Amino acid sequence: MKNVLLIINPSSGGEKAKEYEHLAKEKLESLFDNVEVKRTAKAGDAEEFAKSAAQENYHSVFTMGGDGTVNEVINGLAGEQKRPNFGFFPLGTVNDLARALNISLDPKEAINSLDSTKQRPMDIGKINDRYFSNVVAIGAIPEGINQVDTEEKTKFGKLAYFISGAKQLSANKSYQFNLTIDGEEQTIKSSTLLIGLTNSIGGFDSLLPNAKIDDGKLHFLFLKDQNFLDTVKTVPDLLKGIKEPTKNVAYLTVKTLKIEVLNQVELATNVDGDPGAELPVEIRVLPAHLTVYAG
């Protein structure tokens, strides 16, 4: 029997989940034997629901919510020995994973177009003892993103991230990092580091055009900027998409990465769009760790 759990975050997408809950449940019931619905009430609920479903041998776990809810569900599944198939209906501000998987950003269309035969292996990243599906960002821009509250996200969408990130960059802040890349050490100075698993970062679905959800790689880039003018020079490269290193942006693919910030600076990460662990961090890729329903 194919049991399915549907985890719904009622507050995602400006509380639009209530509009689509019945449609999603009806669609899943047409594809699977039994569908159970659970609604989150607080942070951490989605992770616990997903973890319990994995331990109870559910066939699949779906969620309806934004990038944060998706990240919670992945954290509930990724640490288990037997992992259910994973699917989601996007309701968030940016929805990077949906973009990478060609899932419609329109919730109704995403639900109606779900095809249970379209499954793909998906790499998962691990940062310290947590998991991510899309990106770890570190530095000036992520610091700005971490300061964006829920009300600003709802009002301005992904524009809120750009406004806050631009404010941080204009402060002309860069950091000294010590990196251990696949066992090799180096020291760099940069305002911003990105470690991506997919092509879509921050709503730009061609920022890392070579990144595939199942290529078994971390796609690591950092800005070669010492001042604000240097930072401005990186913008055209980023808008075109980073396929190889440029004069202004370093780019390489790795399996493992350790990142420390020097000079006793306190610096937090941003993981899949939400505040994450403080540095130092160790990051690695878990190839084909989940099976996901794709568009």
Closest CA to 3 of 118, 119, 85: 85
- Residue 153 confidence (pLDDT) above 60: no
pLDDT at 15: 67
Q: Report DSSP letters for 245-258, one per residue.
A: --SSEEEEEESEEE
Report CA 60 to chain centroid distance, whole Å.
20
Q: 221: part of which helix (H) or strand (E)? A: strand 218-223
Cα–Cα distance list, 43 to 47, 96, 147 (Å): 9, 20, 18
The CA-CA-CA angle for residues 23, 44, 294, to 5°, reads 45
Token pair recorded at residue 285: 């890729």
Instruction: Exactly one of 45, 214, 215, 274 is catalytic; name it.
Output: 274
Which amino acid makes up residue 255? K
- Residues present in the chain in total: 295
Torsion of CA 17, 6, 71, 288, to 10 degrees: -140
Residues forming CATH 3.40.50.10330 domain(s) in the chain:
3-117
Give the count of alpha carbons within 13 A of 29, CB side only.
Answer: 9
274 is a catalytic site residue: yes
Residues forming CATH 2.60.200.40 domain(s) in the chain:
135-289
Q: What stretches of 92-196 adopt beta strand conformation (E)?
A: 119-127, 130-132, 135-139, 175-181, 184-190, 192-196
What confidence tens digit (pLDDT) does each residue in 55-79 have?
999 999 999 998 889 999 999 999 9
pLDDT at 140: 77
Which amino acid makes up residue 186? Q
User: Is-contact 97 273, C-beta < 8 A?
Assistant: no
Q: Mean of the per-residue pLDDT values for the chain?
A: 88
Give the separation between CA 29 and CA 25, rounded to whole angstroms: 6
Contacts of 39 (CB under 8 A, 6+ apart): 7, 8, 9, 10
Give the separation between CA 168 and CA 143, rounded to whole angstroms: 7
pTM here? 0.88
Can you tell me the mean pLDDT for 214-239? 90
Q: Which CATH architecture has domain 135-289?
A: Sandwich (2.60)
31 vs 173, which has greater pLDDT? 31
- DSSP class of residue 204 equals B
Cα–Cα distance list, 184 to 189, 255, 257 (Å): 17, 12, 9
Sorting pLDDT into bands at 50, 70 and 90, what band is 180?
very high
- Residue 146 confidence (pLDDT) above 50: no
* Count of beta carbons in the 10 Å neighbourhood of residue 183: 8
- Residue 275 confidence (pLDDT) above 50: yes
CATH number given to 3-117: 3.40.50.10330
Positive/negative CA dihedral, 126, 132, 135, 136: negative
